[in-house]
Amino acid sequence: MSQSTSSPSSFKYLEPQPRQPKAGEGSLLDVIASFFVAILVVSNIASSAKIVDLGISLFSIQLAFDGGTLLFPFAYVLGDVLTEVYGFRTTRRVIWTGFAMMVLTALVFFVLGILPPEAYWEAETGGNTAYNAILGGMSYGGIVLASLTAYLAGEFSNAAVLSKLKVKMKGRLLWVRTIGSTLVGELLDTVIFVLIASAAGVFGWELFWQLVITNYILKCGIEALMTPFTYWVSRFLKKKEGIDTYDTK
């Protein structure tokens, strides 16, 4: 039996070819998801850090809002983009990732709160008293429960409504779908958050309607103003990714 051999020079070297992502894989999905989660964490910290009052009133109700209101609506903008381009299933996964990161953030602030402070830092900054006044709310049971419950209710309802409307309206009138889903999602998010936080003693009940009305108006208003951005990003991603998901099942 004979055995053929080949010299090294007879082999042809092939340059490795870059792998092209398939349509629907979402090569930019990780970028959008990262911004989504970062916005959630930062806005949650801002909500605990400060209540803002611009001195404006509506029907004799002073419009005050927590610090996270300025940033949190952008999570809904990105949530709309995720649902519009990648579909409800992908958005659901990102929402749960955001939930996990919010839990992790609360846990970190809780551990920091119970660890003993360094003497010089405590004398110069006010120590744990100052920490608990500003950042302690991030690990306080009331605001954590309020944030997580409101987040899940608001984000899932927003994504579900947008997904259903896209199929029903055959992909037309994106602005109607995004604003319509936001009105539902932000209403649930705002009412649930302020209700639970007030019941837990985080906010006084005298601030209830101020916070609900102001937060809802600001959140919905910011997303409405961001509609051109939502259009542009959605179109860019659909063209770049080669995907436009309809949740028909």
For residue 64, give the H/E element and its range. Answer: strand 61-66
Joined together, the tokens standing for residue 47 give: 């909500």
pLDDT class for 188, splitting at 50, 70, 90? very high
> What is the per-residue pLDDT across 9-66, written as a single tens digit (0 to 9) for each?
554 544 444 444 454 454 799 999 999 999 999 988 887 777 787 777 777 777 777 7
pLDDT at residue 19 in the model: 42
Q: Lowest-pLDDT range, 47-51, 126-130, 146-150, 184-188? A: 47-51
Domain assignment of residue 67, yes or no: yes
3-state helix/strand/coil string of 106-137 = HHHHHHHHHCCCCHHHHHHHCHHHHHHHHCHH
Q: What is the pLDDT of residues 61-106, one digit of tens each?
A: 777 777 888 888 899 999 999 999 999 999 999 999 999 999 999 8
Rounded distance between C-alpha atoms, residue 64 and residue 53, angstroms: 4
Task: Name the 3-class secondary structure at 160.
Answer: helix
Res 77: pLDDT: 92
Q: Is 238 or 46 the better-scoring residue by pLDDT?
A: 238
**Could you tell me which residue, 168 or 63, shows the higher pLDDT?**
168
Residue range 211-222: average pLDDT? 88
Question: Which residue segment(s) compose the domain that 125 sits in?
Answer: 26-239
Any domain includes 61: yes
User: Is residue 177 scored above 90 in pLDDT?
Assistant: yes
Spatial separation of the C-alpha atoms in residues 51 and 215, rounded to whole Å: 11
Quick one: pLDDT at residue 246? 92
Q: What are phi and psi of 43, to 5 degrees?
A: -65, -30
pLDDT of residue 16: 44
- Give me the chain's average pLDDT, please: 84
**Res. 204: pLDDT tops 90:** no
Q: Is the pLDDT of residue 125 over 50?
A: yes
- Which has the closest alpha carbon to 51: 151, 133, 140? 133
Rounded CA gap, 142 and 134, in Å?
15
pLDDT attached to residue 22:
52
Task: Confirm whether 6 is domain-assigned.
Answer: no
Q: Quick check: is 16 in a domain? A: no
> How many domains, the chain?
1
Distance from C-alpha of 174 to C-alpha of 104, rounded to nearest angstrom: 34
Domain with residue 41: its CATH number is 1.10.1760
Residue 247 counted as domain residue: no
Nearest to 185, CA basis, from 84, 72, 101, 97 = 72
The lowest-confidence range among 94-103, 139-148, 218-227 is 139-148
Question: What pLDDT is recorded for position 182?
Answer: 93
Give the separation between CA 24 and CA 220, rounded to whole angstroms. 30
> What is the pLDDT averaged over residues 122-141?
80
CA distance between the termini of the chain: 61
Q: Do the beta carbons of residue 181 and residue 162 sit within 8 Å?
A: yes
Cβ-in-10-Å burial (0-12, 13-18, 19+) of 82 comes to buried
Q: How far is CA 50 from CA 5, 45, 64, in A?
A: 77, 9, 11
Which whole number is the average pLDDT over 133-151?
81
Q: Is residue 49 part of a domain?
A: yes
Taking residues 110-124, report their average pLDDT. 88
- Give percent of the chain above pLDDT 70: 89
Residue 142 domain-assigned (yes or no): yes
- 12 domain-assigned: no
